[in-house]
Structures are given as structure tokens and as C-alpha cells.
Amino acid sequence: MQAPGRVGLGSPGLDSLGLDRRGPGGPGLGGQWLGIHAAPVASGVPPRAGRTPASPAGHPASPAAPPASGAGRPSPNPGTVAATTPPQSPRPGPPRPGHPSSPELSRMSLFGSLTAAISGLTAQSKALGDISDNVANSQTIGYKRVDTNFVSYITQSNATVNEPGAVIARPNYTNAVQGTIEQAEQPLAMAIGGQGFFSVALAKGTTNGQPVFDERQFFTRAGDVALDKDGYLVNGAGYYLQGWPSDAAGNPDRTILNPIRLNQQVFNPVATTRIDLAANLPADATTTPVTTQAQVYDSLGRLHTVNLSFTSAGTNSWTLGLNAPDDINSAARGTVGLHFGTGATPAVTDGTIGTFTNATGSVTLPGTSATGDPATISFTADFGQGAQTVQLALGKFGLAQGLTQYSGTEFSVRNNAQDGVPLGAYSGLSIRGNGDVAVNYDNGQSRVIARVPLVAFNDPEKLQRLDGQAFMRTPESGEARVTDAASNGVGKLVTGSIERSNVDIATEFTKLIVAQRAYSANTKVVSATDELLQDTINMRR
């Protein structure tokens, strides 16, 4: 009888067990021989019918099993029946280190290295794309550079195993980073010193020769605006500057935001309603009367002259005569007595007007003459467009304002102004520091037609970038807050200037060198991995 032992890897019964025949040092065997227990069989004596071969001591008898594919082959020793053993199930429990089913060998490290390097090539390609975009737009007004952030992805990483993963490139926007502000030749150009954006509109077509605007709201930092043929303020990228419309007094309506358009080319004439005179009547004058002239515009914008003559009527008293040569009815418009200091009733401070008396013609006196009340008379004149009432303001009663009487021999005029204007034609457009858009006319007048607001966001880096240095609001950026310049966290307007790109060429070239080297390094990893895979394939030769 053959002693119990182990069947070697060359045993015919190994195939019937479904075991690997890999030799010593094979990856599936951990560098050791595997054997199986075989039941002892009496040499030349077949087992009795209905009985199974005896098992080694301490082991129960194994049930009979049909012969495997290797059964029936001659035994290596004559007279010995080949041992047959039924297939055995793998032992339960976790796989052993180095076993084919172990997680450490279930993944292809070479392919992992290859895919990791390829992801590095892709990421560096995107970084190169961002750099090239920045360099190309280094002179673009209002452009905001795009930096690159690299994010790693882990396949498996723990205390004993770290498998190759991947890397991706994500854009890092710099929408809130200030660009260089420099003076511009365009008189209407604007830059924002600080946070905020201009609100702009985009034309999507025309109707009857006028632009039709997109309903969406757009924003930009490019303030290189100029007037187009239709009178709109348009920047270099074709976006229309928006603002709050202003009323006749220049007060903005903050409930409406529309494209700013210049459509008031003419400043209509304004008839004179008030003349302000500040002068000193000489208390020591030896000759009278003393005279001066005031300019008056009628409702058609025509200029007329009103002569003012002051004749001494005694100590602290004068008589003012009004004469309008162009009056179609009569040049003489009336007279009025002026009383200063102790010549007034009641007396007032010396040298100041106390009372008006003896008004004639079209002259009308004020209702009260208490100290501090306006010392204003009125008269009428007809220059062909009907009676025109004009007020002549001479200061205040009892105060050294307007018309006074102090020592001197010459009549001196300090101020002679009126509020009428002639017809005015457009002469230019200007934008003030507070954002007011003012139309200037050749008659010396100006009119505010709109105010440019600024728009702020909680997270401007999350704005959607568009063509032409424009942006759109996104849920991540937060709501748009429209406010006056230099208030509520937004910057100030710098007129006559533009904001250049925030790209620094030297920094971009530095990043370019780094990205180029990183790309080359990843190609080396791909080449090395390819050689190793080729060596693995050549092992079958």
C-alpha cells in the first residue's frame, strides 16, 4: 500500500480538481508548490463493491465520485490504482495577498499609469488653451483673464495601496480682479475703479431703422463707449450702455433701465423771468444818474436790453427807472423809490435797502418788507409775443446783499445775471463723475438726460462669460444690484479713461513654460508605459 501523500503539479488528478498548474514562483501560488491529499489505495487490490477507500486516520471517508477526465490513465507504478479525489470547493475567507483574486492585482497598473498620463496631457492642453486665450486678449479692453485650477481624481488610495487616478483642468475666472486704468482719447470713455459692472443691452435686429433689443440683461467692464449714428452710446464690442432716464430737473428715475440715447439735439429758448443785480450805489457820488443794463430774452429766444438808471433823490434815497427800448408799446416801463439805512421807514442797517416807495408804470412792489424778506420788484414788457413779466431781485431787506449804498464815487456792479437763454444747438455730450449724462449746447446750457448706474453681484466669478467681454447673471452669481456709482459696495466712475485687460504677459509666459514642461513630462510617462506594455506582449514569443 502506498503511503498517504500529496499529488504534485504533474499528477493526473490535478486537472480533475480544476487547479492551476503554474509552477513555483507563479503569481497564483505565491512561489510555493500546491498539493492535494490523496486517499491510500492497496496496490493491485481494487476496493470492494459498495465500499469506499479508507481515509487516513482522523479523516472521514470521502464519498465515491465519478472519474474525472484524467481517470483511467495508467498509474505511474504498476499494480497501483490511480488515486482519484473529488473536486474540492475553495476555502472560504478573504483572498490571500498575491492571490489572483486579490484587489491589488485586479487592476492593471500599467493601464492606470497610461490613463493618468493621458489625463495629464488633456489637463495641460486646457491650461495651454487658457494661457493662449489670455495672451491673445492682453490688449482687449475690459477682458478678464482665465487661470487654470487642477483637480485630482482618486481611483483607490489607502494605507497599503495607491492606484493611478486622473487629473482634470478647471477654469478659474478673475472677473472681479481690477485691470489697469489708463486715460483714453474718447471723451465718453469710462472705467470702474473698484467692483461693479456696466449694464448693457444687445441689439437683436432692427425695426424701421431702429434697433430692437434682446430682453436679457448683459453686463460688462468695457466702457469704451461712443455715440453711434442713431444717438446711442455703444461700446467697442457693440453693446448699448444702459442708464436711468432723467426728468427735466435732472433727477433719475431709478425704476427704469433703458439704453441711453441722445435725442434732444436742440435746447429750446427760455424767456427771461428773473434778473439778479448785485451792485453798490456810491454814497459820495457827485454826478447822477448812474446806469447799467440787463439782458432779457423773449419767448422766441431774441435778446433785448433793459436800461436801469439810478438817480439820487437825497440822502439815503434813490429813484430807479426802467426802460425797455424794444417794447412795442412804450419804452418807459416805470420807476420806483429806493431807501437805504436811516432813510427807510422803519430804519434798517446803514447801507442796506429798507423800503420801496412810489412805484409807477408797470412796476409792482413786494408784499412785505421785513428784514430778511426778498427785496424784489417786478415789471412787464411786450417784445411782440405778449406781456412778459420780469422780476428784478435786489437782495434782501436790511441785509448787505444785492444792492447796497456805501462810500464811494463810482457805481460798481458785482453781479448781473438773468435766467433766460436763446435757442441752443447740440455741441457735445459729457459724462460726469456721478454718472450723469449731460448734453451740452452752444448757448452755454446743458441738460442731464440719464444717469449711468453700476451693477454689483455677490459672486461675480460665477457670471456666465459671453462674446465681447460681456457677462450674464447666473443663479450662482446672485442677484444683480443696481446702484449709484461709489455707493453700496461698487466702485467709482473714472471718466475719460478705460480699463485694460488684467492679463500680465510676464506671468502668462511663466505659466506657459510650466505647462509646456508638464505636458512633456506626461508624454514621457506615456512613452515609458507603452514600452512596458510592449515588453509584456513580447513575453509570449
Residues 222, 291, single domain; the answer is no
Residues 414, 284, single domain; the answer is yes
Residues 409, 283, single domain; the answer is yes
Lowest mean pLDDT among 49-63, 79-93, 232-246: 49-63
- 299 in a structural domain: yes
pLDDT tens-digit map of 455-474: 999 999 999 999 999 999 99
Q: Is pLDDT at 262 greater than 80 in this prediction?
A: yes
| pLDDT, position 87 | 52
Q: Is pLDDT at 224 greater than 50 in this prediction?
A: yes
CATH number at residue 383: 2.60.98.20
| pLDDT, position 372 | 95
pLDDT tens-digit map of 264-313: 889 999 999 999 999 999 998 877 789 999 999 999 999 999 999 999 99
| pLDDT, position 541 | 65
Residues 290, 163, single domain; the answer is no
Residues 140, 224, single domain; the answer is no
| Overall average pLDDT of the 337-354 stretch | 95
Mapping DSSP onto H, E and C, the string for 450-514 reads EECCEEECCCHHHCEEECCCEEECCCCCCCCEEECCCCCCCCEEEECEEECCCCCHHHHHHHHHH
Residues 228, 253, single domain; the answer is yes
3-state secondary structure of 402: coil
User: Which of 418, 452, 471 is the last residue in one of the domains?
Assistant: 418
pLDDT tens-digit map of 1-59: 444 444 343 444 434 333 344 444 444 433 333 333 334 444 444 444 444 444 444 44
Residues 313, 375, single domain; the answer is yes
- 64 in a structural domain: no
| Overall average pLDDT of the 240-245 stretch | 98
**Which domain range does residue 141 map to?**
110-174+502-539
Q: Is pLDDT at 493 greater than 90 in this prediction?
A: yes
| pLDDT, position 108 | 57
**Percent of the chain at pLDDT exceeding 70:** 80
- 27 in a structural domain: no
User: Which of 374, 399, 418 is the last residue in one of the domains?
Assistant: 418
Distances (CA, A) of 184 to 141, 162, 197, 339, 405: 11, 57, 19, 58, 53
Q: Is pLDDT at 159 greater than 80 in this prediction?
A: yes
- 89 in a structural domain: no
- 28 in a structural domain: no
| pLDDT, position 539 | 87
3-state secondary structure of 524: helix
Work out the mean pLDDT of the chain and round it to a whole number.
Answer: 85
Nearest to 109 by CA among 533, 540, 522: 533
Q: Is pLDDT at 70 greater than 50 in this prediction?
A: no
Confidence of residue 536 (pLDDT cuts 50, 70, 90): confident
Confidence of residue 99 (pLDDT cuts 50, 70, 90): very low
Q: How many separate domains does the chain show?
A: 3
User: Which of 418, 439, 460 is the last residue in one of the domains?
Assistant: 418
Structural contact between residues 246 and 448, judged by C-beta atoms closer than 8 angstroms: yes
Residues 441, 388, single domain; the answer is no
Task: Report residue 283: phi and psi, to 5°.
Answer: -70, -25
Lowest mean pLDDT among 66-75, 179-188, 206-215, 449-458: 66-75
Q: Is pLDDT at 89 greater than 80 in this prediction?
A: no
Structural contact between residues 339 and 331, judged by C-beta atoms closer than 8 angstroms: no
Residues 394, 436, single domain; the answer is no
Q: Is pLDDT at 376 greater than 60 in this prediction?
A: yes
| pLDDT, position 45 | 44
| pLDDT, position 419 | 94
Q: Is pLDDT at 406 greater than 70 in this prediction?
A: yes
Residues 391, 339, single domain; the answer is yes
- 323 in a structural domain: yes
Query: Rounded to whole angstroms, how far apart are CA atoms 43 and 46?
Result: 8
**Percent of the chain at pLDDT exceeding 90:** 73
Residues 289, 372, single domain; the answer is yes
Residues 154, 257, single domain; the answer is no
